[in-house]
Structure 1
Amino acid sequence: MTKAIKLLTALPQAQRERLMDLAHEVSFPEDTRIFEAGGTADRFWVIRSGAVNLDQEVTSRKRVTVASLGAGDLLGWSWLFPPYTWDFGAVAFSQVRAYEYDAAAVLALSVEDPLLGLSLVRTVAEILASRLEVTRGKLLDAYVGRRPA
């Protein structure tokens, strides 16, 4: 089983504090669509409480949940990579409280503090790799049957 990586706790304390200086608190009521696939990715969130489902539209009337995120999880990574559009949609599964970050401000801070920028990119890459491994396991379970432990 792959360990979930939490963005804020994975960063060294000094870098975490600099990033937290850019955060502002937001909340989303249950069933709120936070972003839609294809939209402009100009921000990201770290979930403080609640749950968010990432989904993919497979037909005009059907969405499939591809991941569920909770407290401490990074919501949104598309702001870091061209073409800066969301790959999935996101909806609040319950009341959500989160820290919201403006991508342009974080990227500017990353240029100003290259060590923070490198740490941030590495941590996001680790999060993505972890999520990919979880998804791979789910696909194997769904299409090949239960894998041996």
Structure 2
Amino acid sequence: MTRAPRINALPVPHRERLMSLSREAVFEPEHRLFDEGRPADRFWIVRTGAVNLDSRVPGSPRPAVIEMLGHGELVGLSWMFPPYEWELGAVAMSLVRASEFDAAVVRALCEADTAFGYALTQWVGQVLSHRLQATRVRLLDMYAPHGSGVF
């Protein structure tokens, strides 16, 4: 499966404007960035390290890993869409250095600058499409009868 569009998929002026709103964040291995159902008030773009997206599975003591994210990838989508609650969880798998963004500030800029908002929404939409496909594939790997040919 191909990787989701990274930050460099944003046109340069919009990418620079977004990055001007960031602050540095550092997460130790095994640090949970967020959990399903909690308020989604920020998001990150990974600079170094790896973050696993995961989902709770009823009856299982551990969340199922959906996808691993790395350099240039967006961690968190739920900040952009009401009700602004995380749909998945995320955990640092190594030392992670990331650019962190305040979701309310970015959403306000999207409303104030429609060209920026459109570009950012297009990028996030592409990432969302990829994540849905990755989740589908992962769930089929986990739950479809082996060799069933179910896609």
Question: Is 1:22 aligned to residue 46 of structure 2?
Answer: no
Match of 1:53 in 2: 52
Distance 2:148 2:46 in 1: 31
Match of 1:81 in 2: 81
Normalized against structure 1, the TM-score is what?
0.89
Residues 111 and 48 (structure 1), Cα distance of their counterparts in 2 relative to 1, 3 Å cut: same
Unaligned 5+ runs, structure 1: none
Match of 2:115 in 1: 115
Distance 1:137 1:146 in 2: 14
Residue-pair matches, total? 146
Question: Is 1:134 aligned to residue 134 of structure 2?
Answer: yes
Distance 1:46 1:4 in 2: 12
Distance 2:36 2:65 in 1: 13
Residues 145 and 97 (structure 1), Cα distance of their counterparts in 2 relative to 1, 3 Å cut: farther
The answer to whether the 8 A contact 1:140-1:146 is kept is no
For residue 57 of structure 1, report the CA deviation from its aligned partner: 1.7
Match of 2:91 in 1: 91
Poorly superposed stretches of 4+, deviation over 3 Å: 137-142, 144-147
Identity %: 49
Distance 2:43 2:69 in 1: 13
